Amino acid sequence: MIEREKTPSDDYGIALRAIADKLDHWPGDIVISSHIDPDGDALGSALALRRALVAKGKLPVVPLEAPDYLSFLVKPNELSPPLSHLPNRCLLISLDTAEEKRISGVPFTEAESVINIDHHLSNTAYGDISLIRIDKAATAEIIVDLISVLEVPWTEELATPCLTGILTDTGNFRYSNTTPETLRYAATLIELGVDFARLTDRLQWRHPSYFTALSKVLSTVEFLFDGLVTMAHLSQDLRNELGEMADDSEDYVGLIRYAEGSKVAIFLKEGEGHTKISVRTRDGVSAQTICQQLGGGGHLAAAGAKVDGDLSHARQGVIEATRLELVHRGYAKPTDLG
Ligand SMILES: [Mn+2]
C-alpha cells in the first residue's frame, strides 16, 4: 500500500484521498483524539497524524493523556488537556475509537465535521466520513497509508509512533491479527528509520513500582472452570498503597493468558465506584461477546469493559458472562459454575 497507493484507485484509496482532501482544505481548527485510556495504537496514531499535519502547516490539538509507559513518544506541547468546548468550524478526527462516547477530551456534538478512522468491528460509523478497516491490525496501519496519500515526507518521527501502534495492538506480532501485510507495514516503517530493537525494548520499560504491583497481582491469580479461565485483580486499596505507577497495568492480562490450558484470561482493576475489566481469549472464545454483555466491546481475542461497582460485583458479572460464552462455544456445561 505504501508504495502502490500514490494514485489510489480502489475504495480504500478513494476513502483515503477524500480524507486527505478534507484535511488539506479544512479552513478551521482541527482536533485529533482517540479513545479514553489511550493505548499504543490510539496515542501512536494520533501523534503520527498530528506530526504529518504539522508538516503541512496545520496545528491540530490532541486532547489525550499519555500513560506513563508511552510518555517517551510524546514531545513537549503535542498533547493538550481535555477540551470543554470546540471552536467554531472544528474538524474532529477520531482514531481507533468504536463509539463516539469513548472519545477522549472532546465535546463531540460541537464538531462541525467528524472523520472516524478505526479498525474495530464494533465501530458504529459515526463520522461524516468513516473509514473502518477491520482487516487492519492497527489503526496506525491506516494512518501510514493516509500519511502517504497526504504526501508528507516520511521521517523517523512519523514512523516510530505508527510502528508503536502496530506493535502494541499485535502484542509484538504475536496475536492472530498479525498478517503478512502487517509485517510489510512494519518492514517499511523500519526502512523509514525506526530503531526497531530500541523501540521494542523501550516499550517494555516500566516504573520499578510496577514490578511490586505485579508481584501482588500475581498473588491473586485464580483458575476457574477447570483451568479454562485465569483471573487476577488489582484492588483500589492496593492501588492507593502503590501509587499511580501501579496503573500501567495493561499488560497484566497479557501475562496471565499464558497459563497452559487457559482459553480466557481476565484482569480486574478496581477504581472509585467502578471496575475495569480486560479480557483475552483464544480458540474461538470471544472476548468481545463476554465484554459486550458487560456494556463494553473490543475485538474477538481482546476486549474490555468498565462496570459500575466494586471488585466483587465485577468479578461475579464477568464470571457469569464468561460462563455463558464458554457454554455457547461448547467448552463448559450450563451447570458449570466456575
Ligand atoms: Mn487499535
Question: 103 CA to middle of ligand 1, Å?
Answer: 13
Same fold across 4-203 and 208-328: no
Residue 104, pLDDT score: 96
Residue 4, pLDDT score: 43
Question: 263 CA to middle of ligand 1, Å?
Answer: 22
Question: 41 CA to middle of ligand 1, Å?
Answer: 5
Question: 270 CA to middle of ligand 1, Å?
Answer: 23
d(CA 249, CA 236): 13
Question: 327 CA to middle of ligand 1, Å?
Answer: 29
Place of cell 501502534: 165
Residue 247, pLDDT score: 60
Question: 332 CA to middle of ligand 1, Å?
Answer: 31
d(CA 253, CA 133): 26
Question: 246 CA to middle of ligand 1, Å?
Answer: 23
Neighbours of 196 (CB within 10 A): 14
Question: 338 CA to middle of ligand 1, Å?
Answer: 31
d(CA 49, CA 205): 25
Question: 334 CA to middle of ligand 1, Å?
Answer: 34
Q: How far is CA 133 from CA 125, 137, 140, 309, 314, in A?
A: 11, 9, 11, 34, 32
Place of cell 461497582: 309
| Per-residue confidence in pLDDT tens, the chain, 338 aa | 555 444 456 899 999 999 999 999 999 999 999 999 999 999 999 999 999 999 999 999 999 999 989 999 999 999 999 999 999 999 999 999 999 999 999 999 999 999 999 999 889 999 999 999 999 999 999 999 999 999 999 999 999 999 999 999 999 999 889 999 999 999 999 999 999 999 999 999 988 888 888 999 999 999 999 999 999 999 999 888 887 666 666 679 989 999 999 999 999 999 999 999 999 999 999 999 999 999 998 889 999 999 999 999 999 999 999 999 999 999 999 888 77
Question: 47 CA to middle of ligand 1, Å?
Answer: 14
Question: 337 CA to middle of ligand 1, Å?
Answer: 33
CATH code of the domain occupying 4-203: 3.90.1640.10
Spatial CA neighbour of 98 closest among 302, 248, 307, 270:
302
Residue 97, pLDDT score: 97
Q: How far is CA 278 from CA 70, 203, 212, 235, 268, in A?
A: 19, 20, 20, 14, 7
Question: 233 CA to middle of ligand 1, Å?
Answer: 24
Question: 226 CA to middle of ligand 1, Å?
Answer: 32
Question: 250 CA to middle of ligand 1, Å?
Answer: 14
Question: 136 CA to middle of ligand 1, Å?
Answer: 9
Q: Where are the alpha helices (DSSP H) in the chain?
A: 11-25, 40-55, 139-150, 156-169, 180-191, 196-203, 208-218, 236-242, 252-256, 287-292, 311-328
Question: 150 CA to middle of ligand 1, Å?
Answer: 21
Question: 280 CA to middle of ligand 1, Å?
Answer: 15
> What CATH architecture applies to the domain 208-328?
Roll (3.10)
Residue 249, pLDDT score: 60
Structural domain spans, the chain: 4-203, 208-328
Question: 119 CA to middle of ligand 1, Å?
Answer: 6
Question: 287 CA to middle of ligand 1, Å?
Answer: 15
Residue 299, pLDDT score: 84
Question: 42 CA to middle of ligand 1, Å?
Answer: 6
**In sequence order, which residues have a C-beta less than 8 Å from that of residue 87 and are 6 or more positions away?**
28, 29
Question: 38 CA to middle of ligand 1, Å?
Answer: 9
Burial of 197 (0-12, 13-18, 19+ CB in 10 A): exposed
